[in-house]
Amino acid sequence: MRRAFSAVLMRDLRLATRAGGGGGMAVFFFLIVVTIVPLGIGPDLNLLAMIAPGMLWVGLLLSALLTLDRLFQADFEDGSMDILMMGDLPLEALVAAKAVGHWLTTGLPLVIAAPLLGLLLNLDESAYPPLMLAMLLGSPALSFLGTIGAALTVGVRRGGLLASLLVMPFYIPVLIFGVGAASAATSAMPSGVYGQSLSLLGAVSLVSLVVGPVAAAVALRANLR
């Protein structure tokens, strides 16, 4: 089972690298979102620094949504999904492997790019470590929860927008706790607020590791009968 999980994961990583688009497209979209904000708000550096954590989290969330449709749709269209579902790997583990691959090719590059893009928003230097830690804890939830929307819309032509609408309510807690953790670390709030927000963010990610693959597997079985 471990070997099958690794094989599915490596397959998705190779396909994402060969096809391009995945992580590179998400990072480029992230750059566009962050670049437009200063142009719309103006040259007020204090205001930009104040909203920087929130805007970086919003950009991360939107960029992750952009790539949800490639989780299952391509495999469904070329028939690979039927072959994968007939293998020895349980469907829940198969979904988990694809979610891990999505995070490694999309979520992780976005987290790495966030500090660099923070320069455009005049993000305070002390905010970089807590922001990175919060994104590392919260970004896996975006991939695992995203599998639910991708599974519900598999087989739907151009279902990326519908998948985004379906998973958006699940992303709200990640956004709230992620921004709260980054903001608490750079403001005059008590240190306990930062730890509490970080703990809640980690709890959401842990729950998503269990709920995401199970719910997505149920949706895939219903859609691919």
Tokens of 100: 């891990």
What is the arithmetic mean of pLDDT over 127-150?
A: 90
Q: What is the predicted pLDDT for the residue at 23? A: 65
What is the arithmetic mean of pLDDT over 70-98?
A: 84
By mean pLDDT, which of 21-30, 138-147, 170-179 is the weakest? 21-30
Residue 60 to residue 223: CA distance in whole angstroms: 29
At 90, give phi and psi (nearest 5°): -55, 150
Distances (CA, A) of 69 to 122, 156, 224: 33, 10, 16
| Residue predicted with more confidence, 139 or 87 | 139
- Give the domain ranges of the chain: 2-223
pTM of the entire predicted model? 0.88
Tokens of 7: 């094989």
Distances (CA, A) of 121 to 4, 37, 88, 144: 43, 8, 48, 29
- Do 125 and 160 touch, CB atoms closer than 8 A? no
- Mean pLDDT in the chain? 84
Residue 98: which residues within 8 A CB-CB, separation 6 or more? 8, 9, 12, 71, 72, 147
DSSP states of 131-183 as a string? Answer: HHHHHHHHHHHHHHHHHHHHHHTTTSTT-HHHHHHHHHHHHHHHHHHHHHHHH
Burial (0-12, 13-18, 19+ Cβ within 10 Å), 181: buried
- Do 59 and 30 touch, CB atoms closer than 8 A? yes
Whether 188 has a pLDDT exceeding 60, the answer reads: no
Q: What is the predicted pLDDT for the residue at 185? A: 65
